[in-house]
Amino acid sequence: MIVFDQVAKRYPGGYTALAGVSFEIRHGELVVLSGHSGAGKSTLLKLIPVIERPTAGSVSINGQDVSRMPARAIPYLRRNLGLVLQESRLLFDRNVFDNVMLPLVITGHPPRDGARRVAAALERVGLAGRERELPAGLSGGEQQRVAIARAIVNRPSILIADEPTAHLDPDYAHEIAELFRSFNSAGVTVVISTHDATLFAASRPRRLVLHKGLLVEGGEA
């Protein structure tokens, strides 16, 4: 489903974030990406939705080489992907409903069906009935739940999360981890980077471990 083939990423100035990374993720897998700060985790995840492109090698999704995808096609690719970043990146001048609805507005989704999808996404993350609240009135964990609802409102087949529990206390972190496990149990492919791999230990996920841009564990599918 997701295939990295000898992927390298070098930035101007000579910094190498990834070097010769190869692995395959099958449909429905839960994959936890770990490694030290600066190991290349965020760079790797950004290559999947083509936020970044590799310097060498290829990234394929369902047999399509997205690393060479024309810019006009990228929005269509992203409709099947959900992306959750370390920071929630919510619009603080919009309420919860508008924040979660935003991806559907961008894709021209019919408003009535969009509203149903928003309600379902908020219920899924435990925020049913909170549609009219502003993000500033929510806790950090609740804000991250809104970000997750926004990521799943399009019902993606792949959910990518970059350190979604990094700034949360342990209780909230375990709740967010449980959410991702529940999405995976429903058949969504989940690729998540975390500084605390023990959050997912009970699920026995597949682990990919990066060290200084090299994949040192988990390269075999």
pLDDT one-digit tens code per residue, 30-60: 999 999 999 999 999 999 999 999 999 999 9
pLDDT at 21 over 70: yes
70 and 2 within one domain? yes
Q: Are residues 111 and 174 in the same domain?
A: no
Q: Residues 126, 94: one domain?
A: yes
- Whether 216 is covered by a domain: the verdict is yes
Residue 98 shares a structural domain with residue 142: yes
Q: What predicted TM-score, i.e. pTM, was given to this entire model?
A: 0.92
Closest CA to 16 of 28, 24, 7, 3: 7
d(CA 194, CA 218): 15
Q: How is residue 62 written in tokens?
A: 């369902």
75 plus 13 within the same structural domain: yes
- For residue 85, being part of any structural domain is answered with no
Place of tokens 């001048």: 93
Give the tens place of pLDDT for each residue, 129-172. 999 999 999 998 999 999 999 999 999 999 999 999 888 888 88
| Residues with Cβ within 8 Å of residue 169, at least 6 apart in sequence | 141
* Residue 4 near residue 200, CB atoms below 8 Å: no
**CATH code for the domain in which residue 73 is found:** 3.40.50.300
State both tokens at 189: 């492919």
Total tally of structural domains belonging to the chain: 2
- Does residue 125 lie within any of the structural domains? yes
3-state SS class at 221: coil
Domain identity same for 61 and 170: yes
183 and 193, same domain (yes or no):
yes
Residues 73 and 55 in one domain: yes
Amino acid identity of 184? Answer: N
Cβ distance 163 to 193 under 8 Å?
A: yes
Q: Find the domain containing 131 and state its range.
A: 90-155
| Shared-domain flag, residues 70 and 177 | yes
